[in-house]
């Protein structure tokens, strides 16, 4: 455009100096062509500008549309994200609080279990029972509870906790139930040994341990506190013997807890239906089955029969 302006000015300047009419006409024609060319260029520039302006307006409209559309969505997203993070942190904090509270309760229960007096054993073992469903403390609670049970005087509490433990017994943890029946059997043996020191005075014909398990009241006077201890202990031995018998009998045709591989030496089982329970492979030495029990001799190895005492009957 600037070049045309320059040419136009030069022609106008030359036209002033031309005297020949023909030449002047030619200059006028050239100037007219230049004017039309400038007009075309001006219109083209205007169209280009208008198109650019329209494109800019369209871009602005698109930007405005997306900004109007996305801003509320972004606000909703940010609100949801904030709520989600807040909820997540609340859950984590709640879990931590629950864990801390469980830790505190466990420490308190352990203190009661190991430092409480014998009269408080019932409360301590019940607290241990409350941890049997805890993924973090159930193994420890089971071990402590089975250790405390022989010292629990309340037979109702004993049965409540024992049968709960029994329902959670498998091949891996049945050793604790065997240790429990051994502890109760040994305690009764100790009480029996003290009682037979007076058996000659009382005129007992049969002062054997198996006789003692059947009739502990024959060894003590009615007001003797040792009788109450013996009766409570025989109650526990009856519960554990029947419980283990049922557990083992249920596993006769399945893979589950069984006497196989267990050390049952020195244990007295009082009552219980051991029908079809195989004791082959178990360690049996001076093991007794006494009272209202059912035991098949064919469920023992030949070598075991010489070291097992079976006195089942009323």
Q: How far apart are CA 300 and CA 292, in angstroms?
A: 19
For residue 189, is pLDDT > 90?
yes
**What percentage of residues in the chain have a pLDDT greater than 90?**
48
pLDDT at 54: 57
* Closest to 145 measured CA to CA, from 136, 160, 135: 160
Rg of the chain, C-alpha, whole Å: 51
The pLDDT of residue 273: 96
Nearest Cα to Cα of residue 272 among 308, 240, 301, 297 = 240
Q: Tokens for 110?
A: 């352990």
Task: Work out the angle at residue 13's Cα, subtended by the Cα atoms of residues 11 and 15, and round it to the nearest 5 degrees.
Answer: 65
Average pLDDT value for residue range 287-309:
92
User: 26 pLDDT exceeds 70?
Assistant: no
Q: What is the pLDDT of residue 289?
A: 97
Distance CA 187, CA 15 (A): 142
pLDDT of residue 8: 57
* Percent of residues, the chain, with pLDDT higher than 70: 68
Quote the pLDDT of residue 116.
Answer: 67
Instruction: Please report, for the chain, the start and end positions of each structural domain, with discontinuous segments joined by +.
Output: 1-47, 180-314
Q: Which of 25-39, 51-65, 226-240 has the lowest mean pLDDT?
A: 51-65
Identify the three-state secondary structure at position 173.
coil
CA–CA dist 307, 309 (Å, integer)? 7
Strongest mean pLDDT among 29-43, 147-161, 204-218:
147-161
**pLDDT value at position 253?**
77
pTM of the model: 0.69
Q: By the 8 A CB rule, do 288 and 309 touch?
A: yes
Query: What span, in angstroms and rounded, lies between the C-alpha atoms of 291 and 211?
Result: 9
Which pLDDT score, from 0 to 100, does residue 288 have?
A: 96
pLDDT for the residue 100: 81
| Degrees, nearest 5: CA angle 290-204-190 | 55
Structure confidence by residue, pLDDT tens digits, 76-95? 666 766 666 565 556 666 66
What are 134-186's pLDDT values in tens digits? 999 999 999 999 999 999 999 999 999 999 999 999 999 999 999 999 999 99
């Amino acid at each position: 455009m600037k070049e045309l302006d320059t040419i136009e000015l030069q022609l106008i300047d030359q036209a002033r100096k031309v005297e020949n009419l023909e030449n002047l006409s030619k200059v006028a024609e050239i100037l007219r062509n230049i004017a039309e060319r400038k007009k075309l260029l001006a219109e083209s520039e205007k169209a280009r500008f208008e198109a650019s302006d329209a494109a800019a307006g369209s871009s602005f409209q698109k930007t405005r549309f997306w900004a109007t559309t996305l801003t509320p969505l972004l606000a909703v997203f940010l609100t949801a994200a904030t709520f989600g993070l807040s909820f997540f942190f609340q859950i984590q904090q709640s879990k931590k609080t629950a864990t801390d509270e469980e830790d505190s309760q466990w420490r308190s229960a352990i203190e009661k279990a190991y430092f409480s007096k014998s009269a408080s054993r019932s409360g301590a073992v019940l607290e241990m029972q409350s941890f049997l469903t805890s993924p973090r403390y159930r193994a420890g609670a089971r071990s402590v509870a089975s250790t405390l049970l022989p010292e629990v005087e309340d037979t109702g509490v004993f049965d409540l906790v024992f049968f709960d433990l029994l329902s959670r017994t498998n091949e891996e943890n049945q050793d604790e139930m065997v240790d429990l029946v051994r502890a109760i059997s040994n305690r009764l043996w100790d009480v029996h040994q003290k009682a037979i020191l007076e058996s000659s005075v009382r005129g007992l014909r049969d002062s054997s341990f198996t006789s003692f398990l059947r009739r502990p009241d024959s060894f003590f006077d009615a007001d003797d506190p040792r009788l109450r201890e013996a009766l409570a202990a025989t109650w526990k031995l009856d519960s554990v013997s029947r419980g283990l018998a049922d557990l083992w009998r249920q596993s006769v045709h399945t893979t589950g807890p069984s006497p196989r591989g267990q050390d049952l030496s020195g244990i007295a089982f009082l009552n219980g239906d051991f029908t079809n329970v195989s004791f082959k492979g178990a360690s049996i030495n001076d093991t007794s089955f006494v009272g209202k029990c059912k035991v098949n001799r064919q469920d023992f190895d030949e070598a075991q029969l010489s070291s097992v005492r079976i006195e089942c009957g009323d």
